[in-house]
Amino acid sequence: MLKTNWHTHTNRCGHAVGTDEEYVIAAIQAGVKTLGFSDHAAYHTPRPRSRMDFELKDDYFSSIRSLKEKYRDQITLYLGMECEYFESEWETLSRYRKDLDYIILGQHDLWLDGPDVYHPFTSDQVFEYVNLIEKACNRNFCDYVAHPDVFMWGYPGVDDTVRQAASRLADISVKYNIPMELNCGSGVKYGMREFQDGMRYAYPVRIFFEEFAKKNCPVIVGLDIHDPKLFTTDEYVDRALSVCEGLDINFLWDFDLVSAAKERKQQFR
């Protein structure tokens, strides 16, 4: 099991199970030394089963902070969030940026309750998705890009649009020195399925990691965990790693994301 994981959910998002403390205990038992919580950001518009309600965020903050104290001798805990870059929510997002230890960018939708990655994007929407990631990085809003290839969940297959998106994401990673994630969540959990380019996991998708390898982008493995029991298995990590077999990836193992976040926060705008 990984010693460090920055991508951890809680039951507040409505599609994760277990208590906060169960995640912490399971992580300790699995040998995790640094655990960052990054539940789906709360916005003023609720969306049950997809993100936490705005009223729950204070409980989330205080629960993780108190567990941090309680288990300080056994594990180092940090409080983050998985946010989208939504200009309409900028006031809320700016607060999170300032108050939290770190932010990971998981751009699931093009705008609040707009088109999402679970339905096929058009080419233009793929490029808009990449533009949003670039804007977030340019403003130093986030500390790593979660599942940069997540739109492949709904997209029919690897084509020229995807190749261009992969190349642009690699350029963004280099330009802003921002880590890209190899995600071990739903994309591998639900197994391989048939796409226009053949049988594979929905994400991670190899073409992205070929680009990341070619341009020496920093890559962080993220569990994207929604169930404490999954700390006990390496199955999903192994599946994700199998996607980039043979590639010379610049993996950042045990990267101190919070120190990097402190520096980025000073440039946040």
In the complex, what is the shortest distance from the CB of residue 146 to Zn ion, in angstroms, rounded to a whole number?
A: 6
**82/210 with CB nearer Zn ion:** 82
In the complex, what is the shortest distance from the CB of residue 123 to Zn ion, in angstroms, rounded to a whole number?
A: 25
Give the whole-angstrom CA distance, residue 185 versus residue 101: 22
**187/218 with CB nearer Zn ion:** 187
For binding to Zn ion (CB under 5 A), which residues are involved?
82, 224
**107/140 with CB nearer Zn ion:** 107
Taking each helix axis from N to C end, the angle separating 160-176 and 123-138, rounded to the nearest 10 degrees, works out to: 0
Residue type at 174 in one-letter notation = V
In the complex, what is the shortest distance from the CB of residue 142 to Zn ion, in angstroms, rounded to a whole number?
A: 13
In the complex, what is the shortest distance from the CB of residue 40 to Zn ion, in angstroms, rounded to a whole number?
A: 6
What is the DSSP code string of 125-172? HHHHHHHHHHHHHHTT--SEES-TTGGGGTS-S--HHHHHHHHHHHHH
**106/218 with CB nearer Zn ion:** 106
**43/213 with CB nearer Zn ion:** 43
Return the residue nearest Zn ion (CB atom).
Answer: 224
In the complex, what is the shortest distance from the CB of residue 108 to Zn ion, in angstroms, rounded to a whole number?
A: 8
Give the whole-angstrom CA distance, residue 235 versus residue 2: 12
Give the whole-angstrom CA distance, residue 208 versus residue 181: 11
- Give the pairing type, strands 193-195 and 180-183: unpaired
